[in-house]
Amino acid sequence: MDEILKLFLLFGVGSIAGFINVMAGGGSTITLPTLIFLGLDGALANGTNRVGIFVQTLTAVISFRQEKYHKIKLGLKLAAFTLPGAIIGAIIAVNISNELFQKILGYVLIGIIFSMLLRKINKNKTEEDKQNQNSWLIYPAMFVMGFYGGFMQVGIGFMFMASLYHLLKLKLLHVNMHKVLIICIYTLPALLIFILTGNVNWKLGLVLAAGMASGAWWSAKLSIKKGEKIIRIILIAAILLMSLKLLDVI
């Protein structure tokens, strides 16, 4: 593939992924396999994807703040519990073989398809956040999700949405607000591990980051929820093809 075309493709994929990530989740189910299909091995694709994730979530946090949606204290408290897991997960990710990583990714993508088919989050939540922040289960859940996020990241947005929604009973908009802040914070040490081990392609990473930041900015700014059903259908089809390819089925 021509180098210029490759960069345009990556920017476009990043824009879609950034928009989807803030609106719901699952953007890395597109970006990570795309990086692998563009020729990067598993660890390099994993690290390069973190450049986009960090810039995207930072952009979304800024956008949410400009729209007066920023409850930083709770987000920072939850993010603190993800940090140890994220560091451990990233260390494991840079030390496994490319073949094993791609097999794990293939099975994870299949699992994401089932979770997307079954996921039914009520968008009409009306309870106040402050009335429902008593569940201690959120803290071990944050550690586990930090580990998974540090290791792979794919589908972590869905996991955060489910945990914050069901355990803390937050409104969906506040779920997304806290989700991007938490991911932004734990992504930084994970990204540093990938950088220090030489597992970041900066040219592709920065192009991807530009696309993801663009999509994240408008997703957070507009808080668009309409059209999620068709996006989910397209995502499922694309993810299924990617997972079957990674598992050498097609």
pLDDT over 80 at 68, yes or no: no
pLDDT for res 90: 95
pLDDT over 70 at 221, yes or no: no
Q: Tell me the per-residue pLDDT of 201-219, one tens digit each, with 9 for 90 and over.
A: 999 999 999 999 888 787 7
pLDDT for res 109: 76
pTM for this one? 0.79
Select, from the ranges 101-105, 111-115, 190-194, the one with the highest average predicted confidence (pLDDT).
190-194
Candidates 22, 143, 44; CA nearest to 85 is: 143
pLDDT for res 3: 84
pLDDT for res 53: 92
Q: How confident is the model at residue 241 (pLDDT cuts 50, 70, 90)?
A: low
Percent of the chain with pLDDT over 90: 36
Average pLDDT over residues 10-28: 83
- CB neighbour list of residue 61: distance below 8 Å, 6 or more residues apart: 70, 180, 181, 184
Q: How far does Cα 200 stand from its chain's mean position?
A: 17
Select, from the ranges 102-111, 132-141, 164-173, 201-210, the one with the highest average predicted confidence (pLDDT).
201-210
Residue type, position 18, single letter: G
3-state SS assignment for residue 116:
helix
Candidates 205, 161, 14, 196; CA nearest to 87 is: 196
Contact 141, 78 (CB under 8 A): no
Q: How confident is the model at residue 247 (pLDDT cuts 50, 70, 90)?
A: low
Give the residue with greater pLDDT, 184 vs 223.
184
Q: What are phi and psi of 200, to 5 degrees?
A: -135, 125
- Give the separation between CA 47 and CA 50, rounded to whole angstroms: 5
Residue type, position 117, single letter: L
Residue 233 has, within 13 A of its CA and on its CB side, a CA count of 3
pLDDT for res 232: 57
Separation of first and last alpha carbons in the chain: 21
Average pLDDT over residues 40-68: 88
Percent of the chain with pLDDT over 70: 76
Give the residue with greater pLDDT, 250 vs 142.
142
∠ Cα 39 16 162 (to 5°): 105
- 63, containing H or E segment: helix 42-66
Q: Tell me the per-residue pLDDT of 144-167, one tens digit each, with 9 for 90 and over.
A: 999 999 998 887 887 887 788 888
- Give the separation between CA 175 and CA 170, rounded to whole angstroms: 6
- Give the separation between CA 156 and CA 30, rounded to whole angstroms: 13
Going by the DSSP 8-state scheme, the letter that residue 17 receives in this structure is H
- The pair of structure tokens assigned to 234 is 């397209």
